[in-house]
Amino acid sequence: MAVKTQLNGRKVYVVDGARTPFLKARGKPGPFVAADLAVAAGQSLLARQPFEPDVFDEVIAGCVMPGPDEANIARVAALRLGCGDKVPAWTVQRNCASGMQALDCAAHNIASGRSDLVLAGGIEAMSHAPVLLNLEMVNWLADFSRAKKPLHKLKQLARLRGKHLKPVIALLRGLTDPVVGLSMGQTAENLAYRFNISRHDMDAFAVESHRRLAAAQDGGLLDEIVTLYDTQGNYYQHDDGLRRDTDMVSLSKLKPVFDRKFGKVTAGNSAQVTDGAAWLILASSVAVKKYKLPVLGEIVDSQWAGLEPAQMGLGPAYAMAPLLQRHKLGIEDVDYWEINEAFATQVLACIEAWKDDVFCHKELGLKKALGEIPHERLNVDGGGISIGHPVGASGARIVLHLLKVMQREDARRGIASLCIGGGQGGAMLLERN
């Protein structure tokens, strides 16, 4: 009997993919807006394909905060990439999993027979997140432009106060849960408390993330990265958030940033605010045959899950479990894992949760604990803490990189997963033959 999947219909193949280096936000807007990143990654990817960009059935991109000139950024990217007027494009938003959502939508459309060849991915330029006027200022401006006579204008001018000038930093608001009011870092603190994860363990996890990325860079294991060129004569070939000199001593000096006095989550054991874009090409067997495309791997199934927003970092624990169950797999059947590192403590909490009989029984409806995901098979080339986490792009990055790892290690099965602000988890099951 066929294995049950939520991805019913035709097989969905990933044939190629590329991403930009992830560039750490350094206080000021970075050299590229989101659409520029999408175009740069896409141009390099499309240049090596045996087909022209206008044969895609659709283009789907995940992006949390496109710029003011980037409404439906997928369409902007598609047109700038030369896909032509006739290729439809749409943008999806599921916070930190937007990139994975784009892949999921593409996969479903291929499985159902609606599409044969889709460009899908994720984009985020967090350094370009808008700074907004506050509501009082907007009201003041409206009154000011309504005042017609000079005297009225003058009166209105006199009503301007310092508080009007306080900007709204969209990035900070975006990283705060809109319902329960906790910052993402505070939800991570919740998990550290609940699963009793020490500052030492978090920092050790972060050090290892940087060590693994450094090794991957030195070993040339990140060939999905394309070179980015800016307009000033600079070029970028590597994720520039990597800190080779990170160690326990330097990390231990950092102060908690979210629960300032008594917390454990620091900038050093959290994902970096970054800019980046990643694209994958998904194809049906029809397209694979027609254009003689090499198959990188197959998207077999996907799963979304919801949970309490204040515990959002546990999302992967909830999303990955049904995949194992549906396909009757144990932890040992999965060769490699990518769990996006939003926070060290959040990844560690997911591992702890799966080791816990009570959690697995009560929350996942299982008889007993699933077991322990082996560290040496999880995020083998680093993760969000060292690479960075451009929110809309990460979902696409981890799926692409997991496939690359599986190809390199000649592995059969992998699972990629992310936690999602607002209390969700998303996961994808990938296979290679």
Active site residues: 96, 389, 419
C-beta closer to another protein: residue 231 or 433:
231
> Judged by CB under 8 A, does residue 252 bind another protein?
no
Q: At its nearest, how many Å lie between another protein and the CB of residue 382?
A: 23
Number of neighbours of residue 218 by Cβ within 10 angstroms? 9
Q: Is 429 in contact with 327 (CB distance < 8 Å)?
A: yes
Q: At its nearest, how many Å lie between another protein and the CB of residue 403?
A: 21
C-beta closer to another protein: residue 35 or 188:
35
Q: At its nearest, how many Å lie between another protein and the CB of residue 67?
A: 13
Instruction: Give the binding range for another protein (CB under 8 A) out of 190-198, 229-237, 325-333, 346-354.
Output: 229-237
Ramachandran bin of 365, using left for φ above 0, alpha for ψ from -120 to 50, beta for the remaining angles = left
Question: Tokens 């992310």 correspond to what residue?
Answer: 418
Number of neighbours of residue 29 by Cβ within 10 angstroms? 16
Pairing of strands 13-19, 274-283: antiparallel
Q: What are the residues facing 306 on neighbouring strands?
A: 424
| 232, 262, 328, 433: which one binds another protein (CB under 8 A) | 232
Q: What are the residues facing 376 on neighbouring strands?
A: none
| 196, 229, 252, 333: which one binds another protein (CB under 8 A) | 229
C-beta closer to another protein: residue 293 or 350:
293
C-beta closer to another protein: residue 82 or 88:
82
State how far the Cα of 206 lies from the Cα of 348, in Å rounded to an integer: 11
Number of neighbours of residue 428 by Cβ within 10 angstroms? 28
Instruction: Give the binding range for another protein (CB under 8 A) out of 80-88, 90-98, 148-156, 164-172.
Output: 80-88
> Judged by CB under 8 A, does residue 112 bind another protein?
no
Question: Tokens 């017609």 correspond to what residue?
Answer: 148
Total residues interacting with another protein, rule: CB under 8 A: 16
| 14, 34, 39, 427: which one binds another protein (CB under 8 A) | 39
Ramachandran bin of 220, using left for φ above 0, alpha for ψ from -120 to 50, beta for the remaining angles = left
| 1, 2, 28, 48: which one binds another protein (CB under 8 A) | 48
> Judged by CB under 8 A, does residue 80 bind another protein?
yes
Question: Tokens 């009570």 correspond to what residue?
Answer: 358
Q: Which of 205, 206, 235, 232 is nearest to 352 (CA)?
A: 205
| 27, 162, 233, 294: which one binds another protein (CB under 8 A) | 233
Residues lying near another protein in the complex (CB under 8 A) are found at: 39, 43, 47-48, 80-82, 227, 229-235, 237
